[in-house]
Structure 1
Amino acid sequence: MPASGEKHTSPLVPSRRQVLLGGAALGATALTAGPLVALGPSARATTTRGAGAPLRGDVFTLGVASGEPDHHSVVLWTRLAPDPLAEDGLGGLGRRAVTVEWELARDERFRHVVRRGVETTDAEAGYAVHVEVAGLAPGWEYHYRFRCGRFLSPTGRTRTAPAPGVLGGGMVMAFASCAQYEHGYFTAYRHLAEDEPDLVLHLGDYIYEYQPNSYVSPDGNVRDHRGPETETLANYRQRYAQYRTDADLRAAHAVAPWLVVPDDHEVDNNWAGDAYEKPEIPQPRFLERRANAFRAYYENMPLRRRNRPRGAHIRLYRTVAWGSLVNFHMLDTRQYRDDQACDDGWKICEDAVDPARTITGDEQERWLLGQFRRSRARWDLLGQQVFFAHRVNDSGAVSMDAWDGYRGSRDRISEGWVAAGVRNPVVLTGDVHTHWANELKADYADPDSPVIGTELVTSSITSGGNGADSDPAEHPDLQRNPHIKFRSNQRGYVRTHISRDEVRADFRVVDYVTEPGAPVRTRASFVIADRHPGLTEVTPR
């Protein structure tokens, strides 16, 4: 099989793009070419147990996904839903147990199957299926699919990470954030899939919790949420299903394994710890709502069993190694943070500089600093949610919802990677609906202070509507904040090429999202060189 990052197409089989993108767009098909695999009489005898009529509709409307790759295992995911928008959140299956077959192969036509099995799912699991497949070869590309009754799922592509200690030939990683279903079409997800990355990071706001037309983009909403604002488990399950009915999102899931962390809208806008957005409007059952949100998040993401929530708590901070090339440190900056200072918003606020304030919580901070000390990776990438660099507006205010509102946390983390001798620290960020490229400084008040790291911020997939192109150099944000080197208020994602010598970041944009089918282009490209934190702009390609 080709090494990570290489392309391979056999003349005897369809290309990955034909299989993955076409299959993701069409959804599941009726199985007419015989059995998926010979799994034994008990597995083939029936696909449903318990109450309910036999399955009659396409159960794979929500597609397939994989995630959490390490050097010998990966998670495979699907969720059954013949009626994905059913108000009870159970996808039209009522309450029954359903048997699902799965298989993993080295080729797209499944002539060389290496693992296969059977899982049972039910209403308690939201009809989600999580399969942790172990005993795989490191640095290998695989293909997977599911069958339920006479229905065969689309084919997904996944891969394992290189073995520990292996630098390898590099990798392509894309990251994205903020996909408001009402604000536009998920065309950027489709282009992300066409880039065929080895790994995708999603940094939060995968769904939005609002009731229809309560959050309207400047360009107007082009499609509607189904159901009320999400509070119950059924609400969240229905909302995830509605997002997954989008073929472009399904294509992005099918093309590569994902690493995911939520931000605020998976629960409630700008929530912080045990505090909800608007304390003036009592939410006496907020922790119950948070528990519902976390349960639905786990059900709908390719996460491991160890990430299963416990009530209103879910452990999602973790490190995933890609050989010795990259450590991906995935952070949670919502669940453990102090409430935003000075009632949130953009403020000049003395409390924001209180060194005791935390955005990560003490336990996660200790864990991350320990990961820095133990790291021997060429690149340490922090996958997290909110703006890390200092950013001041024209009135001198900073965002209380970003790391500026928790300056002590930012200082301890950045000083921690310097003290640990982290070779190449890079922060990856979502949330703000705008592309940014930032140099991280030891002291933002001193223009001559050394650059100690780099931040790449992805724009939204749709949130905020079409946006607009402009000359970044003329934007006042760059003039007020000279460590910020690029800004673009267009929708899109970031594609990175990571090698032993550099990280190349391509800021990918679409010109509109209010209609489907917008072409994609690279608005700007920057290189971060090994052992040289900071940004060098290069010609887009």
Structure 2
Amino acid sequence: MRLARRRFLTLTGAATAVAFGTNLPGTAVRTGTTPSGGLTGNPFTLGVASGDPLAGAVVIWTRLAPKPFEPLGGAPYKPVGVDWQVAKDEHFRQVVRAGRATARPEFAHSVHVDVQGLQPGRHYWYRFRVDGYLSQTGRTRTAPAPGQRGGQLTLGVSSCQSWPDGYYTAQGHLADEDVDAVVFLGDYIYEYGIAAAGGLRNLTDPVPDQFRTEADTLDRYRLQYALYKSDPNLQAAHLNAPWITTWDDHEVQDNYAGLTSKSNAPVEDFLVRRANAYRAYWEHLPLRGPAPQGPDYMLYRRFTFGRLAELSVLDTRQYRSDQASGDGWKADSDARRDPARVLAGQQQTQWYLAGLQHSRATWNVLANQVIMSRMDLDPTPADLYNMDAWDGYGAEQKVMLDGLAANRHRNPVVVTGDVHAGYAMDMKRDFADPSSQTYGVELVPTSFSSGGNGVEVSANGTKFLAANPHLKLVNEKRGYCVLRFDERELHVDFRAVPYIDRPGAPVSTVHSFVVEAGNPGLNTVAGEAVR
């Protein structure tokens, strides 16, 4: 499987300069079966994926799109039967589950199969077949049995993959990591229009004209996903392991808040756009049904990995109040601390804290979109807070942080996206006092691509280090984190590439930490200085 992934990644240099003709290069194999779906070419141009692993089940996904940049992906407007198989081995000599799903045109011919009856804690391989075409083979893994003790869990974690900001080199390296699952923390697409040259990709084969405008209709969001998912490195990362995803703002619109758009559009108009965006999101990711109902979708959920770890996934966009003080970085204010303003909402907050309190897992991981810990941008005695992060919702932030502190013995670990930088923080009873009790850690893997090549530490990064004594690392290159849990400790590697404005960058570990179970806080590894 590792060799197969490496062969797949050799496409990177050529195939990421996408051939924007009627078809894309792909690895589907024509088997000679009699056609039945009326497809006009390889339907698996957007790859395959799996996600949301349970102890006895996992979701497998594909979308039929022989011409992905045409309406409906070039597939006929009719239901198409798609055969699927799940096996214990990559050669499919031991098929354990198989069936036929229906790819429906109203869902862009996407296929979501919730494969049940699997054994806990083991790898499986899966594939699809339609009209004589056989898809790529994906590898997935079920979660351990709920009561299983011991063992290990390895997660790859990142967020923010703006396609025109550079090549998906980091995803290619993640595809070669031996992880049990990938946790993606939001901004799978960006809604912005894309220039002909594809931004930092600087393509000679231009991006088609239909990508110039910002995504707001269902067809336009579908096009954006098709472009992103056509990238071979992203496809390879999905082939390697199941993904557990959540969204942030750019899957709909930059910094939207619940019913409020960035441009303060009429609510009824914005809800149509939100419904379009949520539908396209579900169509293109390995999520369980049912599909979103209009502008609403229950995305927050919880996963258990034996007695070792529990992972809770938040949605901090759908239910939030409008940002205080006009958004942006602002000084403290009554509006910032108004208890009527929420980020996750009362129902979701209570769901999370009740689950944390009753958890029997050694480690309790919270997958979260925006920074939860205090982050002051002003190193003077004054303060400056991000109104789009938890700092902008001070009352609910306090409820969440107090809940984490009360459950210090449950080893809380918050993983966060959004900011296109790698941060590592001790979570403190008093963030301004370095001697205050530590009750957990917040880890912010950098972005996959958003922000371009990046720098080691920017001017703002230097300010953050000066103003926040609980902040132990800033690195603003592109990459991801690998988290390895066992009963005794969590080992964290921050991994980054030196550039993404051209293919082929190597990956390296820029910093590593260890967190001991029962002793919250970041500890240095291999002599690396932690201030």
Alignment check: 8 A CA contact 2:48 2:138 kept: yes
SS of equivalent residue, structure 2 residue 220: helix
**Aligned match of 2:506 in 519, 527, 534?**
519
Alignment check: 8 A CA contact 1:220 1:465 kept: no
**Aligned match of 2:488 in 501, 523, 528?**
501
Alignment check: 8 A CA contact 1:23 1:154 kept: no
Q: Residues 420 and 504 of structure 1: is their aligned pair in 2 closer, same or farther, counting only changes over 3 Å?
A: closer
**Aligned match of 1:167 in 128, 149, 154?**
149
Aligned match of 2:17: none
Alignment check: 8 A CA contact 1:171 1:198 kept: yes
Aligned residues: 506
- 2:320 alignment partner AA: R
- 1:342 alignment partner AA: S
What is the rounded CA distance, in whole Å, between the counterparts of 1:139 and 1:540 in structure 2?
35
Aligned match of 1:323: 306
Equivalent pairs: percent with the same residue? Answer: 45
Q: Residues 216 and 410 of structure 1: is their aligned pair in 2 closer, same or farther, counting only changes over 3 Å?
A: farther
Q: Over residues 354-396 of structure 1, what are the superposed CA-to-partner deviations in whole Å (9 max), with x where a residue is unaligned?
A: 2332110011011111101210101000001001111111362
Aligned match of 1:41: none
Gaps of 5+ in 2: 12-24
SS of equivalent residue, structure 1 residue 455: strand
Q: Residues 162 and 472 of structure 1: is their aligned pair in 2 closer, same or farther, counting only changes over 3 Å?
A: farther
Q: Over residues 456-504 of structure 1, what are the superposed CA-to-partner deviations in whole Å (9 max), with x where a residue is unaligned?
A: 0011111111012249999232121100000001011111111111111
The alpha carbon displacement at 1:23 in A equals: 4.8
What is the rounded CA distance, in whole Å, between the counterparts of 2:217 and 2:511 in structure 1?
42
**Aligned match of 1:367 in 338, 343, 351?**
351
**Aligned match of 1:124 in 85, 88, 106?**
106
Q: Over residues 121-142 of structure 1, what are the superposed CA-to-partner deviations in whole Å (9 max), with x where a residue is unaligned?
A: 1211111000011111111110
Taking only aligned residues, the RMSD between alpha carbons, in angstroms, comes to: 2.3
The alpha carbon displacement at 1:55 in A equals: 2.0
Q: Residues 250 and 272 of structure 1: is their aligned pair in 2 closer, same or farther, counting only changes over 3 Å?
A: same
What is the rounded CA distance, in whole Å, between the counterparts of 1:474 and 1:125 in structure 2?
43
Q: Residues 537 and 420 of structure 1: is their aligned pair in 2 closer, same or farther, counting only changes over 3 Å?
A: closer
Gaps of 5+ in 1: 1-15, 36-44, 49-53
What is the rounded CA distance, in whole Å, between the counterparts of 1:214 and 1:500 in structure 2?
51
What is the rounded CA distance, in whole Å, between the counterparts of 1:501 and 1:283 in structure 2?
50
Q: Residues 248 and 59 of structure 1: is their aligned pair in 2 closer, same or farther, counting only changes over 3 Å?
A: same
**Aligned match of 1:208 in 162, 185, 190?**
190
- 2:221 alignment partner AA: Y
Q: Over residues 279-312 of structure 1, what are the superposed CA-to-partner deviations in whole Å (9 max), with x where a residue is unaligned?
A: 2x66751100000000011111101114x21110
Aligned match of 2:130: 148
Q: Over residues 40-65 of structure 1, what are the superposed CA-to-partner deviations in whole Å (9 max), with x where a residue is unaligned?
A: xxxxx7532xxxxx323110000000
Q: Give the alignment's TM-score, normalised by structure 2.
A: 0.91
The alpha carbon displacement at 1:168 in A equals: 3.6
SS of equivalent residue, structure 2 residue 493: strand
SS of equivalent residue, structure 1 residue 508: strand
What is the rounded CA distance, in whole Å, between the counterparts of 1:358 and 1:68 in structure 2?
27
SS of equivalent residue, structure 2 residue 336: helix
Q: Residues 230 and 74 of structure 1: is their aligned pair in 2 closer, same or farther, counting only changes over 3 Å?
A: same
Alignment check: 8 A CA contact 1:105 1:113 kept: yes
SS of equivalent residue, structure 1 residue 285: helix
What is the rounded CA distance, in whole Å, between the counterparts of 1:525 and 1:93 in structure 2?
47
Q: Does 1:388 align with 2:382?
A: no
Alignment check: 8 A CA contact 2:195 2:212 kept: no
**Aligned match of 1:295 in 279, 304, 308?**
279
Q: Give the alignment's TM-score, normalised by structure 1.
A: 0.89
What is the rounded CA distance, in whole Å, between the counterparts of 2:424 and 2:254 in structure 1?
25
The alpha carbon displacement at 1:537 in A equals: 1.8
**Aligned match of 2:68 in 76, 81, 84?**
84
The alpha carbon displacement at 1:109 in A equals: 0.5
* Worse overlay, 222-231 or 422-431: 222-231
- 2:313 alignment partner AA: M
**Aligned match of 2:79 in 94, 97, 106?**
97
Aligned match of 1:179: 161
Q: Over residues 335-370 of structure 1, what are the superposed CA-to-partner deviations in whole Å (9 max), with x where a residue is unaligned?
A: 111110000000013111223321100110111111
What is the rounded CA distance, in whole Å, between the counterparts of 1:292 and 1:135 in structure 2?
33
Aligned match of 1:313: 296
Q: Over residues 240-265 of structure 1, what are the superposed CA-to-partner deviations in whole Å (9 max), with x where a residue is unaligned?
A: 01100000000000100110000000
SS of equivalent residue, structure 1 residue 194: coil
1:326-405 counterparts in 2 under 5 A? 326-350=309-333, 351-394=335-378, 396-405=383-392
The alpha carbon displacement at 1:420 in A equals: 4.3
Alignment check: 8 A CA contact 2:493 2:513 kept: yes
Alignment check: 8 A CA contact 2:260 2:267 kept: no
- 1:275 alignment partner AA: T
1:19-30 counterparts in 2 under 5 A? 19-23=4-8, 27-30=26-29
Aligned match of 1:247: 232
Aligned match of 1:533: 520
**Aligned match of 1:259 in 244, 266, 272?**
244
Alignment check: 8 A CA contact 2:46 2:226 kept: yes
Q: Residues 29 and 459 of structure 1: is their aligned pair in 2 closer, same or farther, counting only changes over 3 Å?
A: same
What is the rounded CA distance, in whole Å, between the counterparts of 1:341 and 1:215 in structure 2?
37
Aligned match of 1:286: 270
The alpha carbon displacement at 1:419 in A equals: 2.8
Alignment check: 8 A CA contact 2:497 2:508 kept: yes
- 2:146 alignment partner AA: P
